[in-house]
Amino acid sequence: MRIVKSSIAIAVCYLVNMLRGGSGIVFYSQLAALWCIQMYRSNTRNNATQRIVGTCVGAVFGLVYLLIYPSIRIEALMVPIGILLVLYTTVLLNKKQASYFSCVVFLSIVVNHVLDVNPYLFVWNRFLDTIIGIVIGFTINNAHICLNPDKETLFVSGLDDTLLNKDEMLSPFSKVELNRMIDSGMKFTVSTIRTPASLIEPLRDVRLKLPVIAMDGAVLYDTKTNEFLKVISIDDNLSMDLFGHIKKSGLCWYTNVVIDDVLIIYYGDMSDSVNLGMVRNLKISPYRNYIKKDLSENENVIYFMILDKSDKVEKFNSVISNLPYADKLRIVTYKSKDYVGYSYTKIYNKDACKENMLLYLKNLLGIQKSIAFGTVEGHYDVVIHEDDANEVVRRVRKMYEPFPYR
């Protein structure tokens, strides 16, 4: 749409110039209009402000130059002095980003049109054409077909194989469209098995305003304040007994606990090269805190994670499933995509799930309706194909911004 809007803006500039009887210079209107056609409305406002300030400063100093030119005709001296004053003025006005446009306007007046029959007319037209282009670009860029966006529904998307592409990043299309809709008032968040640390990087350019559901529904995390708003942890007595069984198994384990809004990951002695390499790679992240330490009493355990060879993990799961308190736990096991022959097991409180945390979030926000997007049939309101990373945003856009005729 940015391409289409740019073309429309150019056409409108021609139309306005025709209505003015061709008295202006349409080229300057078109440049200003294109400058205002941006991805986001906030960028459009900033660019429009830069262009207006730059044009005004350049035109004023250009006008002053025209007034004193008949008396002092030393261009090689006066023009550099004028540039110095133009740049310094933008600094005083705290509009340094407009300095380039100020210089362009000033130079176009004093270098190319100082000898015109009526140079003052050019100054006026230069200013007026720029303002016309800014108004056209600003208006067209902010125009939208949707008249009634759905600001009452909470849109919730999965992350891996859903919103992210195969490089574990958002596509440029998804990033721009998500930010545009969030800025316009759409309620959007993500729900993922990832920890807050591992979702910050792929979502760093998304302007999320709502908390995210992380760690497979065990926590509700605010990415703006770095706070855990809700934590569903494992009972302390259960976690200590369970940790004893995990240590006894000889498997490679990780214990995720939250202390004062900081996620700490305890781990034990490891002779396994896969786990050693993983810890070595993840410890360098500023968002992760790995400590080689056993679990202590009265700690807020979010979940236990085991990564080991699949046959050993399967054997361990049968032991855990027969514990007397197994019904108070939720055990999730899946094969590793990165390490062949290895499997993960994650052990949560039985109430720690995405559905429960989504219900808590809706109550927190006072929202009645939500639409969840994911890849697993029967678990989400809208099922997404794993091979199209833009499908989530396309579907969200159709639901959030329905065309008037629909």
Confidence category of residue 69, pLDDT binned at 50, 70, 90: confident
In b/e form, how buried is each residue of 69-102, taking b as 16+ CB within 10 angstroms? Answer: beeeeeeeebbeebbeebbebbeeeebeebbebb
Instruction: Decide if pLDDT at 119 tops 80.
Output: no
Q: Where does 73-195 have alpha helices with state H?
A: 75-92, 99-110, 119-142, 172-183
For residue 341, the model assigns a pLDDT of 92
Whether 157 contacts 386, CB under 8 Å: no
Query: In percent, how much of the chain has pLDDT > 90?
Result: 43
Lowest average pLDDT, out of 53-57, 113-117, 136-140, goes to 113-117
pLDDT digits (tens, 9 = 90+) for 180-214: 899 889 999 999 999 988 888 888 889 999 999 99
Which residues have CB under 8 Å from 13's CB, separation 6+? 26, 29, 30, 33, 132, 133, 136
Would you tell me how many other CB atoms lie within 10 Å of the CB of residue 122? Answer: 20
For residue 342, the model assigns a pLDDT of 93
pLDDT digits (tens, 9 = 90+) for 244-278: 999 998 899 999 999 988 899 999 888 788 998 88
First to last CA, the chain: 20
The stretch 300-312 carries a mean pLDDT of: 93
d(CA 12, CA 20): 12
| CA-to-CA dists, residue 83 to 36, 63, 75, 163, 289, angstroms | 25, 13, 12, 49, 53
Lowest average pLDDT, out of 33-37, 115-119, 332-336, goes to 115-119
For residue 269, the model assigns a pLDDT of 83
d(CA 235, CA 183): 40
Tell which residue, 25, 45, 43, 55, has the closest CA to residue 131: 55
Q: What mean pLDDT value characterizes the chain?
A: 88
